[in-house]
Every structure is written in C-alpha cells, then in structure tokens.
Amino acid sequence: MRLFVTGGTGLVGQQVAARLRERGDEVLVLSRSAKAAEKLPAGAQVISGDPTVPGAWLDDLATCDGVIHLAGESIAGHRWSSEFKKKVLDSRAVSTRLIAERMAQTPEKTRVLVNASAVGYYGMFGDNPTEFIESDLPGSGFLADVCVAWETATEPAAAAGVRVAIIRVGLVLAKQGGPLKQIARPFRFFMGGQIASGRQWVSWIHIDDLAKLFIFALDREEARGPINGTSPYPVTNWGFSKAIASTLHRPCWLRAPKLGLKLLMGEMSELATLGQRAMPKRASQLGFDYRYPMLDDALKEALLGQ
C-alpha cells in the first residue's frame, strides 16, 4: 500500500512508520522540517508541509491508498492559556478537516482514514469508576471539546464513503519518550507516590500495542468509528503509582497534592489529577491481540527494557 502519515516524526508516528516500512508499504510522511528524514525508517519519503495549511502536500496525499493522521500540538509541557488552547484545537481540527475534505474528493482512491483522538473525549474525573466505551456520549471541559471537534472534522471523508476509524488514545507507555519518563523520575529518587486522591483512573497503553492498533484499524474493513486505544486493564493512579514503584524497586510513600499541582501547572494539572476509565470494547470485538495487556509487563519493558 501507498500510505500517507502525519505526525510521523512523533513518538507514536515513528513506531507506526517503522512497522509500515517493515511490511513493505510505501510511506509518505508529512513534516514541517527538512531534517525529519533523520527520525524516519529507511525508505520513508518526507513530504514538506504544515498540516494546518493547505498546500501541495494535499496532492501527494491524494495519490495514497490510505492516511494515518497523528499530527497535533502536544498538550503537555505548556500552561493552557487561551492562545495555547486555540493552537491545540487548530492543530487537530483544522488539519483533520483539510485531510478529510481532500479525501472526499477522491474516495475511490484514498479509501481509509485512521485518525487519532484521545480518551479525554469522555471528560476528566477525579473519582468516577464508570467504565466508558466507544458508544458513550462525550464529556465536558476543554479536552472533551477538543476531541469532539477533532472527530467531527473527519465527517467530510466519511460522508463521501471513505472508511474512517478513530483511535482514542490513552496514556502511552514507552521507553522511547513520552510522559512516563517524567512520571517515573520522582520514584527513581525515592520520592514517588500517588497524585492527588489517587482514585482517578489511568487509561494506559504500551506504545507497541498502540502502533499495532493503528495499523490493525488501517487493515481491517470492519474497523470503523471510534476505537479506544487503551489496555483492557486500566488502573487507578494509586495502582499505577504502586506498579511503577514495584518495577523500579522503590517506595511509594509521598503524595503530590492537587492544590500544589494546580498552582504549579495551572489547568494543565488536570492531566495528572483527573482521568477516566476507558475500556477498549471495540478493539476486543474486532479481535485485537495485545502484547502488553497487563501494566506490570508494560512497565517492565518501558522502564527497564525487559
């Protein structure tokens, strides 16, 4: 297959592009940077362009059999000012709309769009044991609103007959990067523990399984609509913290207070102090096989390389 990948130099995108090349697909990766090729597997072609700005890259996209759209401004590491929130929204909704509208013009050629989203779709909660599945309605708040706009932007492609699958991604565990390194750092220095009440749920997935799920959705004709990109075994923050401590052979005894994190990080602290319990019902129905369904095994690989 000839495939177009956005966000291909990011944490997940690199893994997806590598897997596609390993199986012999022709891969075109959209990037703003000419140096992007340094991060890509051999044989992947870099296409210059900004996914939020119309350009010649859309013509390259139209020559492909399918699209995996992963691009989006990272929501971590920045205070959520009004300006930054708009940047986060536009990087997702505007880029997706451009792609979907271009695909709608040639649905007989570019037949499938696998689009990223996030479990923030269901809202953010401090203590809510409700299990959320793909058919549930969206929650409220900034992250939920972004996810709704993000997913809605795929509609032009779906209306034209393009098969659209949407992967709602949870917390990605990876030794290559991502948030786990920062989360684990206090534990390495014997200062780790739960965050806030510890009762907020963490819907996580190992990067190997997430990359595999994107390609699974690309290949399977039955994969349509939202699919939760999470392990079937979410845990509370307290359980997540204890598992990290156990993996690193460290204590789990300190607690990061919600108010302190709010003062330090502003609204972005929601990423740590709130969560949701997302269950991958659709992936299970489709027969997706996880390599790391259990947290202990996922952490051993991501933190220790075992």
214-229 pLDDT per residue, tens: 999 999 999 999 999 9
Most confident by average pLDDT, 82-86, 152-156, 180-184: 152-156
Token pair belonging to 262: 């709010």
Residue 264's pLDDT is what? 67
Residue 240 CB-half CA count within 13 A = 28
Q: What percent of the chain lies above the pLDDT cut of 90?
A: 81
Task: In whole angstroms, give the CA distance from residue 277 to residue 231.
Answer: 10
Task: State both tokens at 171.
Answer: 């917390």
Instruction: Render pLDDT for 58-91 as a digit per residue (tens, 0 to 9).
Output: 999 999 999 999 999 888 777 888 999 999 999 9
Mean pLDDT of the chain: 94
* Domains (range + CATH), the chain: 2-176+203-233+277-291 (3.40.50.720)
> Which of residues 110 and 170 earns the better pLDDT score?
170
Q: Using CA atoms, how far apart are residues 274 and 258, in angstroms rounded to an integer?
A: 10
The 10 Å Cβ neighbour count of residue 149 is 16
Average pLDDT over residues 258-282: 85
pLDDT band of 49, cuts 50, 70, 90? very high
Average pLDDT over residues 123-147: 95
**pLDDT for 175:** 95
Task: Identify whether the C-beta of residue 244 lies closer than 8 Å to the C-beta of residue 184.
Answer: yes
pLDDT at residue 38 tops 90: no
pLDDT of residue 142: 94
pLDDT at 37 over 90: no
- Write b or e for each residue in 182-221: b if 16 or more Cβ atoms lie within 10 A of its Cβ, otherwise e: ebbebbeeeebbbbbebbbbbbbbbbbbbbbbbbbbbebe
pLDDT of residue 3: 97
Cα separation, 152 vs 13, whole angstroms: 22
Interval 133-144 mean pLDDT: 96
% of the chain with per-residue pLDDT over 70 = 99
Question: What is the Cα–Cα distance from 33 to 164, expressed in whole angstroms?
Answer: 28
